[in-house]
């Protein structure tokens, strides 16, 4: 079971950069190819920028050509929640940190095997911890 992190909005604003806040707390999106992790190749774990929960491992990262870091599966299914997103006149599946509710990006069904999924994440929602 994931431990839930709840903080007032004022704390999130103090702890996050304006872009991180916009992406994670206001469900924003960074521009394609602008994030620091879209072409990162080092081995490590991608964690939630808000609460530090482990979300994705570099072993599941792939180059989707979209300009955002993409993964075919989370570290643990329970660490990433999904819900339907009907914004912007589209129907998509939103990906959220199960611990703190941070908006991470969206999940699409055009990824590689073994899952066929593409977790298309915002770099601004992630922190990278290199494997030693």
Number of domains in the chain: 1
Kindly report the CATH number assigned to the domain that includes residue 24.
Answer: 2.170.150.20
Tell me which residue range forms the domain holding 79. Answer: 9-130
Would the pLDDT of 87 be above 90? no
Q: Is residue 2 part of a domain?
A: no
Residue 1: per-residue pLDDT:
63
Whether 37 maps to a domain, the answer reads yes
Q: Sign of torsion, CA 80 131 111 48?
A: positive
**Looking at the domain assignment, is residue 59 inside a domain?**
yes
- For residues 70 and 121, the answer to whether their CB atoms sit within 8 Å is yes
Domain-embedded: residue 126: yes
Domain membership of residue 79 (yes or no) is yes
pLDDT digits (tens, 9 = 90+) for 28-84: 999 999 999 999 999 999 999 999 999 999 999 999 999 999 999 999 999 999 999
What 8-state DSSP symbol labels residue 110? -
Looking at the domain assignment, is residue 70 inside a domain? yes
Residue 120 among the catalytic residues? yes
b/e 36-69 (16+ beta carbons within 10 angstroms → b)? ebbebeeebbbbbbbbebebbbbebbeebeebbb
Instruction: Output the average pLDDT for the chain.
Output: 95
- C-alpha R_g of the chain: 14
Nearby residues of 96 by Cβ (< 8 Å), 6 or more positions away: 80, 81, 82, 83, 102, 103, 104
Q: Is residue 4 part of a domain?
A: no
């Amino acid at each position: 079971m994931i431990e839930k992190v709840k903080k007032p909005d004022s704390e999130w604003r103090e702890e996050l950069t304006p872009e991180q806040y916009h992406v994670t707390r206001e469900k924003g999106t960074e521009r394609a190819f602008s994030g620091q992790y879209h072409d990162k190749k080092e081995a490590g774990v991608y964690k939630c920028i808000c609460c530090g929960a482990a979300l994705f491992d570099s072993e599941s990262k792939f180059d989707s050509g979209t300009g955002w870091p993409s993964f075919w599966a989370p570290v643990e299914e329970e660490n990433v929640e999904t819900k339907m997103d009907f914004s912007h006149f589209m129907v998509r599946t939103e990906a959220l940190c199960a611990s703190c509710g941070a908006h991470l990006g969206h999940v699409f069904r055009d990824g590689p095997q073994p899952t066929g999924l593409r977790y298309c994440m915002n770099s601004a929602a992630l922190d990278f911890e290199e494997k030693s």
